[in-house]
C-alpha cells in the first residue's frame, strides 16, 4: 500500500470511528473500528515511543503523523494534542506493568517483580525521562491518566500484600519501588543489580527467582 493510499484509508477509518460513516461489518460482529482504528492507534503510539527515545523529547503532532505515515486527521482523531500523546504513552506503560505484575503474582514473585520494574534501563529509562519532562511542561496533565496510575499502584500493592501477607510490609515495598524509580528518572543513586539483590533479601527475607538470575 502506497503512502497516499495509507493516508486515504486512515482518513476513512477515522471518519468511521467518529460516527460519520456506517462501520463495515466483519466476521464475529466486529466493525472496521475494532481492527483498523486499534491498528492505527498502536502504530501511532509505537512511532511516538521511538521518536521520543531517539530525540529525547516527545515529538510534535506533525512529526508523528509524517513518521507514522498517517493523515493529520487520522492522528488527531486518536490524539488531538501533544498532551494526549503523552497520556497515551503513559497508559500504555501502565498496561505493560499491569501485565508484568499479574504474571509475576501468578508465580508468587510480585514483590520482587515490583522492585525490578522500578529500575528501568536503556530505552525504557530514556522514554520515561522524556515523558516526565513533557508532562511537567503540560498546563493540564491528564487527570484520568493520573487517576489510572493511582488505581494501578493500589492494585499492584494489593498483589504484593497478598503475597507477603502483611499490608504494611506491602506498602513499604511499594514505596521503596517508588523511590527507586524516582532516583532512576532523576539520574541519581542508580541501583545496580547487586544492590537490588541485597535489597530484596532485606525486604523479602530470602532471594527471589529474579534475584537469583
Q: Helices 122-137 and 82-106 sit at what angle, rounded to 10 degrees?
A: 140
Greater confidence (44 vs 10) lies with 44
**DSSP one-letter code for 65:** H
Block residue for cell numbers 506491602 = 170
Is-contact 74 50, C-beta < 8 A? no
pLDDT value for 108: 95
- Percentage of the chain exceeding pLDDT 70: 72
- At residue 61, does pLDDT exceed 60? yes
- At residue 45, does pLDDT exceed 80? yes
Greater confidence (34 vs 114) lies with 114
- At residue 113, does pLDDT exceed 60? yes
Average pLDDT over residues 163-182: 94
Average pLDDT over residues 71-86: 89
- Integer CA distances (angstroms), 164 to 92, 111, 128, 169, 206, in order: 28, 8, 29, 7, 12
C-alpha dihedral (70, 74, 75, 77), degrees to nearest 10? -170
**For residue 107, what are the contacts with CB-CB under 8 A and spacing of at least 6?**
209
CA distance 130 to 51: 11
Q: pLDDT band at 174, cuts 50/70/90?
A: very high
CA distance 94 to 127: 14
Dump pLDDT digits (tens) for 114-146.
999 988 877 787 777 777 766 665 655 567 888
Average pLDDT over residues 87-116: 92
- At residue 24, does pLDDT exceed 60? no
Question: For the chain, what is the mean pLDDT?
Answer: 78
Dump pLDDT digits (tens) for 83-96.
888 888 888 888 98
Greater confidence (33 vs 66) lies with 66
**For residue 53, what are the contacts with CB-CB under 8 A and spacing of at least 6?**
123, 126, 127, 130
Amino acid at each position: 500500500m502506497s503512502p497516499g493510499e495509507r493516508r486515504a484509508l486512515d482518513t476513512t477509518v477515522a471518519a468511521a470511528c467518529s460516527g460519520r460513516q456506517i462501520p463495515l461489518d466483519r466476521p464475529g460482529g466486529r466493525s472496521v473500528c475494532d481492527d483498523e482504528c486499534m491498528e492505527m492507534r498502536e502504530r501511532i503510539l509505537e512511532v511516538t515511543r521511538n521518536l521520543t527515545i531517539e530525540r529525547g523529547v516527545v515529538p510534535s503532532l506533525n512529526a508523528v503523523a509524517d513518521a507514522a505515515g498517517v493523515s493529520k486527521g487520522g492522528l488527531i482523531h486518536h490524539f488531538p494534542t501533544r498532551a494526549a500523546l503523552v497520556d497515551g504513552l503513559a497508559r500504555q506503560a501502565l498496561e505493560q506493568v499491569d501485565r508484568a505484575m499479574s504474571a509475576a503474582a501468578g508465580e508468587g514473585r510480585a514483590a520482587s517483580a515490583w522492585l525490578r520494574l522500578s529500575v528501568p534501563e536503556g530505552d525504557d529509562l530514556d522514554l520515561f525521562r522524556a515523558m516526565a519532562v513533557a508532562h511537567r511542561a503540560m498546563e493540564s496533565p491528564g487527570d484520568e491518566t493520573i487517576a489510572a496510575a493511582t488505581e494501578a499502584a493500589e492494585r499492584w500493592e494489593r498483589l504484593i500484600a497478598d503475597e507477603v501477607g502483611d499490608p504494611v510490609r506491602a506498602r513499604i515495598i511499594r514505596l521503596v519501588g517508588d523511590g527507586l524509580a524516582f532516583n532512576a528518572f532523576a539520574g541519581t543513586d542508580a541501583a545496580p543489580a547487586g544492590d537490588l539483590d541485597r535489597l530484596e533479601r532485606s525486604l523479602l527475607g530470602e532471594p527471589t527467582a529474579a534475584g537469583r538470575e
